[in-house]
């Protein structure tokens, strides 16, 4: 099956290349943005590091809500075991929130 899929992918790519009407364009047309112009700054330099702790807080709260609804269904069936599991999970998320608090993610400047 893997050999068949590999051969199919190679045949598909070869067919697409042979049917292409244009060849690879010159450099300005292949540039990723700004209609072919070169960027003035590097992409990593545009974002300040102060946004990263807030991202951690968002992920912590998002994961908490994503797992709380299915956990409620499992809790009815499992009982105390599910309660211990969610306790460990919320404890780990709380550590992430405490870290973000220590880093100053909740202070708006």
Which pLDDT tens digit goes with each residue over 42-66?
A: 766 666 666 777 777 788 778 778 8
Q: What's 42's DSSP letter?
A: -
**Dihedral (Cα; 35, 40, 42, 44), 10-degree rounding:** -90
pLDDT band of residue 8 (cuts 50, 70, 90) is very high
Q: What is the pTM of this model?
A: 0.44
Return the H-helix or E-strand segment holding 61: helix 51-78
Q: Residue 93's closest CA among 107, 48, 103, 101?
A: 101
Whole-number pLDDT of residue 2? 93
């Amino acid at each position: 099956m893997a050999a068949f899929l590999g051969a199919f992918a190679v045949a598909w790519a070869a067919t697409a290349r042979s049917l292409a009407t244009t060849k690879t364009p010159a450099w300005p047309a292949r540039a990723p943005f700004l209609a072919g112009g070169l960027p003035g700054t590097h992409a990593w330099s545009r974002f300040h590091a102060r946004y990263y702790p807030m991202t951690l807080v968002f992920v912590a709260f998002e994961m908490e809500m994503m797992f709380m609804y299915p956990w409620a269904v499992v809790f009815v069936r499992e009982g105390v075991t599910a309660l211990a599991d969610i306790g460990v999970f919320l404890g780990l998320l709380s550590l992430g929130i405490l870290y973000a608090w220590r880093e100053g993610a909740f202070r708006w400047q």
